[in-house]
Chain A
Amino acid sequence: MDLQTLTYVVVGTSFVIYIAIAFWSKAKSTGEFYVAGKHVHPVANGMATAADWMSAASFISMAGLIAFLGYDGSVYLMGWTGGYVLLALLLAPYLRKFGKFTVPEFIGDRYYSQTARVVAVICLIVISFTYVAGQMRGVGIVFSRFLNVEIEYGLVIGMAIVFVYAVLGGMKGITYTQVAQYCVLIFAYTVPAVFISIQVTGQPVPQVGFGSEVLDGGVYLLHKLDQIVTDLGFPAYTEGTKSTIDVFFITFALMVGTAGLPHVLVRFFTVPRVRDARISAGWALLFIAILYTIAPSVGALARLNLTETIQLGPVGMTESNLMYEDRPEWFKTWERTGLLTFDDKNSDGRIQYYDDTNIAFVAEAEKIGWKGNELTVDRDIIVLANPEIAKLPDWVVALVAAGGIAAALSTAAGLLLVISASVSHDLAKSVFARNISDKTELTLGRVSAGIAILLAGYLGYNPPGFVAQVVALAFGLAAASLFPVILLGIFSVRVNDRGAIAGMLSGLLFTVGYIVYFKGVFIEPFAENVAENWLFGISPEGIGTVGMILNFSVALVVSYMTPRPPDHVRDLVENIRVPR
């Protein structure tokens, strides 16, 4: 069977499984539609959370990002895992005890205010839509690369699949498909990593291979990598180029943002007990950590493989650079997608790959006849091309395609569900049409999920030019808007409605303002996005941390200047603090 057919079979089979699960777990009530009837086993919820959380970005882009950033890539590793500690210790158990359906519902009840609830819904919708657009785009890319269909058909197929299981199954359907999707994606991620680790270091466990000696030459992988990249003018792999303050603030924003993401929070509403919510966060992080500890190993191994493929020997010898004619098969495959490009600037028929932004090295390079870096590598291809670079069998390549699609679909479905729940439950049921029956609300939930999917598909097809920017925005927003008020709602009885609303709005507006100022969403940026212009040297990616501090401060100051919350709110807070 050729690769094309094999890929169709593997991806097709995974789709059949997802649809079958959706029919088996059809939601029959709003409770099942919003929170899977609160019957999900903590381990199953951990897996579902892992799939929900790990998006196309984690699966496809992260290892590649780290491969080219080296130490600076640590912000993603620590940021996107450390948030689970905050979730498990500070939020999940209490939200579970609160025991209703959505995050805005908690904010509305705790701050006894419809306004607070509506502001929370706005934050939720902005965060979730920016995210989901990126997922649909990811589905499109995987389809067009591996199944040779146009991006738009890929999108339509992806939307149709999500439509079936999200609209029909609601949270219940999504939970069990996410469990299946986790299994597909983690298997697809681990297999190529294990083989590549064995090929380079002889170690089957990639996390161990990462710190082992390479087979040829007896030097440690990371020492060798530092050596060969610095020889080509790049910064050392294990050392950073970002300022410490920026790394600190970005990591913090990603951690807090993770803990404040509504589609992750809502997963902890689905387990039976408070103690399950605590342990379930641990399971979730365990399942996530498998991928997140492999990713940096994959990044380092891939960077070494790539550099050694191009630079065959010491810098300066003509024969050290690979002849373009001799380039390997995978090189040609990815050239066709435009994600890998070669431009023979000095017309010597050989590939020179080095850091031509490093002024000192450029001078050296000119002496040996190099006229600029000739190879452009899109970081997204690292994971997708890995099986081909390592010469793994076709079924592994097919599996990686299925894994990338699973990662994108599972996250998209989770996001679409929180959007539809906040429309049907937080807006319709409690603000506009309080008297609708459970059945009407369920139908409304399904309709809004359907509309959200169409909108997401449209955004995936016509991605606003700023998708990359808005992802940073989503984390910053979650950190600066939802996280502080949820936390204060649990740990303080003093913070009142006015404090919470003022806090959310100031955190939100400050963060959006800062990002727009430097990145220009819809409009031109006001100032150049460089470190000299940043507030305290903090980049727009890390500004969510400052927004969070602002939110906390405003909420506390306003609350202490205005009357205490009523007695029933004190009772509510005291009630959610104990499991029974």
Chain B
Amino acid sequence: MKKLTYWQENLRLVGLCLCIWFLVSFGFGILLVEPLNAISFGGFKLGFWFAQQGSIYVFLILIFFYAWRMNAIDKKHDVDEN
């Protein structure tokens, strides 16, 4: 397998994160909200929960995950600061 450059690795990670970003908000919270609302999640309908709570939690995890992975990628390609 060809070795990916720093920028390619970054783009791949960004792509992955944005897929999840799209899935939880536009996917679960908007486009699929009706089928998901048939599922109960505690006192919530699942689609409604994603739209008003869940998507925000996932966004938060995504940013910290990206920052953590990028620090590792920076190091691997020896472009990290200090």
A interface residue numbers (CB < 8 A to B): 66, 71, 73-74, 77-78, 81-82, 84-86, 88-90, 93, 207, 210-213, 220-223, 238-240, 244, 247-248, 251-252, 255, 273-275, 278-279, 281-282, 285-286, 289, 292-293, 296, 577-580
Within 8 A of A (CB), among B1-48: 6-7, 10, 14, 17-18, 21, 25-26, 29-31, 33, 37, 41-45, 48
User: In this complex, what residue of B is CB-closest to A80?
Assistant: B56
Please, which residue of chain A has its CB at the minimum distance from the CB of B44? A211
Q: How far, in angstroms, from A281 to B60 measured CA to CA in the complex?
A: 9
Closest residue of chain A to B18 (Cβ to Cβ) is A89
Contact with A along B38-82 (1 / 0, CB 8 A): 000111110011011101110110111011001100100001111
- B31 to A248, Cβ gap below 8 A? yes
A278 to B73, CA, bound (A): 13
Q: How far is the CB of A25 from chain B (nearest CB, A)?
A: 25
A282 contacts across to B, CB distance below 8 A: 60, 63-64, 67
Given the known interface contacts A74-B51, A85-B21, A278-B67, the answer about A578 and B6 at a Cβ–Cβ threshold of 8 Å is yes
Interface contact A82-B63, CB-CB below 8 Å: no
Nearest CB in chain A to that of B71: its residue? A275
- Complex contact A220–B67 (CB within 8 A): no
Residues of chain A within 8 A (CB-CB) of B56 are: 77-78, 81, 289, 292-293
B interface residues, Cβ below 8 angstroms from A: 6-7, 10, 14, 17-18, 21, 25-26, 29-31, 33, 37, 41-45, 48-49, 51-53, 55-57, 59-60, 62-64, 66-67, 70-71, 74, 79-82
Chain B residues lying within 8 Å of A247, measured Cβ to Cβ, are 30
* Residues in A whose Cβ lies below 8 Å from that of B43: 210-213, 220-223
A85 touches B63 (CB 8 A): yes
Nearest residue, chain B, Cβ from A247 = B30
State the CA gap A517–B63 with chains docked (Å).
38
User: A579's contact among B14, B52, B62, B81, by CB below 8 Å, is which?
Assistant: B81
Check A74–B29 contact: CB distance below 8 A.
yes
Q: A210-B53, A296-B52 are in contact. List 9 more A-B contacts (CB 8 A).
A: A74-B30, A85-B62, A210-B43, A239-B37, A244-B31, A278-B70, A282-B60, A289-B57, A292-B56
Cα distance A82–B42 when bound, in Å? 24
Mind listing 5 A-B residue pairs with CB under 8 Å?
Answer: A78-B30, A211-B43, A240-B33, A275-B70, A289-B60
**Interface hub of A213, A282, A285 (most chain B Cβ within 10 A):** A282
A88 touches B67 (CB 8 A): yes
Would you give the shortest CB distance from B70 to chain A, in whole angstroms? 6
Q: Which residue of B lies closest to A209 (CB)?
A: B43
Contact B59 A89 (CB under 8 A): no
The listed residue with most A CB atoms (<10 A of its CB), out of B51, B63, B66, is B63
* Residue in A221, A248, A279, A580 whose CB lies within 8 Å of B80: A580
Contact of B53 among A238, A240, A296 (CB under 8 A): A296
Q: B48 touches which one: A213, A238, A275, A580 (CB < 8 A)?
A: A238
Question: Please, how many angstroms separate the alpha-carbon atoms of A578 and B6 in the complex?
Answer: 8
- Given known A212-B43, A222-B45, contact A580–B79 (CB-CB < 8 A): yes
A90 to chain B: which residues have CB within 8 Å? Answer: 14
Bound-complex Cα distance A285 to B33 (A) = 24
Q: Assuming A77-B56, A82-B21, A278-B67, is B42 touching A211 (CB within 8 A)?
A: yes
Task: Please determine whether B17 and A85 come into contact, CB atoms closer than 8 angstroms.
Answer: yes
Task: Give min CB distance, B79 to chain A, whole Å.
Answer: 5
Q: Nearest CB to that of A273 among chain B residues?
A: B81
Q: Which of B26, B44, B53, B67 contacts A251 (CB 8 A)?
A: B26
Q: Report the minimal beta-carbon distance from B7 to chain A, rounded to whole angstroms.
A: 6
Taking a contact as CB atoms under 8 Å apart, the answer to whether B48 and A577 are in contact is: no
Q: A72 CB to closest chain B CB, in angstroms?
A: 10
> Which B residues are CB-close (under 8 A) to A93?
70
Q: Are A84 and B42 in contact (CB under 8 A)?
A: no
Residue of A nearest to B81 (CB): A273
- Known contacts: A90-B14, A212-B42, A248-B30. The answer to whether A82 contacts B60 by CB under 8 A is no
